[in-house]
Structure 1
Amino acid sequence: NKVRGCVSQVWLVTEISHREDGQPVIAYRGDSDALIVQGLVAIVLALFSGKSARDILDTDVDGLFAKLGLQEHLTPQRSNGLKSMVARIRADAEAALAAAA
């Protein structure tokens, strides 16, 4: 469950269920050993947890983060960790869609 590419320790637990039409829905639980990163995990979970795999892949992550102004307040290392979390979630969504096909 550990997310690779984060300077701090980050863990995401993935739970996949299916709607009546068979489309996968992904819920997440997450944590970190660093308080700032716990906040980033909370933002990521608010954006993606409970969404369908297709909605996750269709989300304009860069646009949402730009609206929040996150890049202006994060160090390059924290930004890379945030990107690693999103990459993990997108990979989970792609795998869930492939398994449902």
Structure 2
Amino acid sequence: RFGWTDTPVQSLARAEELAQKTLAVDDTDAAAYALLSLVYMTRRQHDEAVAYGEKALALAPNFADVRAMLALPFLYSGRPEVAIDLVKDAMRLSPYYPAWY
């Protein structure tokens, strides 16, 4: 089934499971922390989303895609100024940034 699930809830649970497995192998993987941030953001658990986002940023401050991805959790947690700065930084770090930034 190519990893597809039947519901969004199952998809989030699977994403969280895979991120946790990744961190069990390498607890310095910024992308895994960014994924957890997005999972918690989608669940509307904004404090957790921001905490995981801050961990991802601390581990990979120059990873443009992570910076852009983490703008949403900060935006939804009531910190739009941080979200704007993250996207601006991502665009600066990756001048040929993808359209989703």
Scaled by the length of structure 2, what TM-score is found?
0.28
Structure having the higher strand fraction is 1
Normalized per residue, the structure richer in helix is 2
Normalising by structure 1, what TM-score?
0.28
Larger RCO, structure (CA 8 Å, separation 6 or more): 1
